[in-house]
Amino acid sequence: MTTALLLARKDLVQRLRDRSFLILGIIAPFFVAYILSLVAGPVYDYGFSADYAISDETGSVGEGLAEGLVDSGFGAEVVGSEDAARALVDDGEASAAILIPAPSPVGDPPPIVVYGDLDDGTAVVVAESIAESIANQSDAVRVLITETGNPASVGAYLGQEPPVGWVQGDAGDKVLDGITYLSVGMAIFFLYFTVQASIINIVEERMNGTLQRLLMAPVGRGSILFGKTLSSSLTGLLSMVVLVVATTLVLGAAWGPVWGVALLSLAAVVNAMGLGALIGTYARNAEQASQFAGIVATVLAFIGGVFVPISTEPGLFDTLTRISPHRWLLDGFGANSGTGTVVDVLIPTLVVAGIGVLLGLLAFGRRSKLTGVV
């Protein structure tokens, strides 16, 4: 164990003196996150607001609807006519108009109309959902009167509540805000290059013969490999610590509780080490190992949504993205930063770490390919 610690200390000091660690492990991820936050930060935020114009010819729905929308953070105004509501949308003063017609004395009730610009699709979709809710409740009231023949039963059905209710829910349980998303994404992306650089150094030592001479010394091979992998993990953890502190203080990133950040960071390091070690067993030289590691890390980061936020809706695409540890890590950090539970943080941690251990075991089985010594 003493030999392993001495080797780890030697490699760690050597790595910290290398400018590439400072650039690749700290400066690059920080400044990429900073620049992206200035250029494209709003794209990564999930905030939504809209202003609605409401025309209500029934005289009983509009005020309650407007009040509910305002209480939920939207803008809403009841106007006197459909033409006035449409004019607000045409002038850009409203995102969409909800036009509630007067009830028809005979036949089916006239439809509720949503008037809006398709370029503001989200606001229009929300308005359509509101209109559908109003229509469904009106249909329920009409059926109730038809079935019972007693209009007084409508009051009991509505429970003396306004005909339209609005409940605001917490939609950001596991969603990172824009700055934090960029900070987490860049930290994870460059972490793989930082950790795998130490593995590539092992391949380089194998090529120049220094590793073979070290393995021939009267020291356990396990201690030597453990010492070198320990230095690799320490550089990765150091990089994460610096980035977490720097992005929190300078950019205002919200990483969440320290315990969650520590567990997820450790899992990411284990995964990067296992992946890098396995790649090293297939590389013929350090240059090839660097190329393989860069390609794999970039592809996994792209699939995992590091560069562009990806949909979390269940389906084939969601399943495909979960082959990437980056996706699991983003989910874990999102749960840790938001209002996710301990389980929401632990599941991604265990998945990412477990994959890393599995890859490491595969690499250990091919250790002769990495060290060059049978």
- Rounded to two decimals, the pTM is 0.64
Question: What does the domain layout of the chain look like in residue ranges?
Answer: 2-44+174-371, 51-158
CATH of domain 51-158: 3.40.190
C-alpha–C-alpha distance, residues 301 and 321, integer Å:
10
DSSP category for residue 168: -
Longest CA pairwise span in the chain (Å): 99
Q: At what angle do helices 221-246 and 2-17 cross, to 10 degrees?
A: 40
Ordered per-residue pLDDT tens for the chain, 374 residues: 576 677 667 767 777 777 777 887 888 888 888 887 776 655 555 555 678 888 887 777 778 778 877 876 788 888 888 888 888 888 888 888 888 887 665 556 677 888 887 666 677 877 788 777 776 666 544 544 455 554 444 444 444 444 444 444 444 445 677 788 889 999 999 998 888 777 777 777 666 666 666 656 555 555 666 667 777 788 888 889 999 999 999 888 889 999 999 999 999 999 998 898 888 888 777 788 888 888 998 999 999 888 877 666 666 777 888 899 999 999 999 889 877 788 989 999 999 999 999 998 888 787 666 555 54
C-alpha–C-alpha distance, residues 264 and 1, integer Å:
26
Return the structure tokens found at 95: 């995102």
